[in-house]
Amino acid sequence: MASPLVPVSSPDAPGAIGPYSQAIKAGGFLFASGQIPLDPATGAITEGGITAQAHQVLQNLGAVLKAAELSYDRVVKTTVYLADMADFPAVNAVYASYFPAPSPARATVQAAGLPKGVLVEIDLIAVLD
């Protein structure tokens, strides 16, 4: 019998604004939806440029990981979406401070448009076992 899909959510990360979950546990993995730099307490977009936005995104993802009783060291794959690839070095520096070696596999792409005009969005997959 297939394992059930188990939704995961955290009040310490922005809630889903559509028909999706913050994350789903399935098949031994956690699949976290993309997070953008929204302050979960205020719903406001984080100000201060790409570095501040990247930190907020990763803090939001950290809250989802914590709700699943996981941490950054369980992340196996991320996708980073940037409004401008010129921001890659700054995001990479912030990103490196959250993920211990070995770093997860990653894809980074420039997106034509991100929700609410933000500069960065990141999603991830983590292993449960």
What H or E segment, with its residue span, contains residue 68? none
Which domains, ranges and CATH numbers included, belong to the chain?
6-127 (3.30.1330.40)
Q: Which two tokens stand for residue 6?
A: 């188990």
Q: 9 is written with which tokens?
A: 């959510």
Place of tokens 């956690």: 30
Give the mean pLDDT of 115-119: 95
Task: List the strands of the sheet with 23-26, edge to edge.
Answer: 6-8, 23-26, 29-35, 120-127, 75-82, 105-110
So what's the pLDDT on residue 18?
86
| pTM more than 0.75 | yes
| CA atoms of 67 and 98, how far apart (whole Å) | 17
What's the mean per-residue pLDDT of the chain? 95
Work out the pLDDT band at 1, boundaries 50, 70, 90. Answer: low
What percent of the chain lies above the pLDDT cut of 70? 98
Residue pLDDT, tens place only, 89-108: 999 999 999 998 999 999 99
Judged against a pLDDT cut of 70, whether residue 3 lies above it is answered with: no
Confidence of residue 78 (pLDDT cuts 50, 70, 90): very high
DSSP class of residue 45? B
Condensed to tens digits (0 to 9), the pLDDT of residues 43-76 reads: 999 999 999 999 999 999 999 999 999 999 999 9
Question: Percentage of the chain with pLDDT > 90?
Answer: 91
By 3-state DSSP, what share of the chain in percent is helix, strand and coil, each rounded to 5? Answer: 30, 30, 40
What was the pLDDT predicted at 100? 84
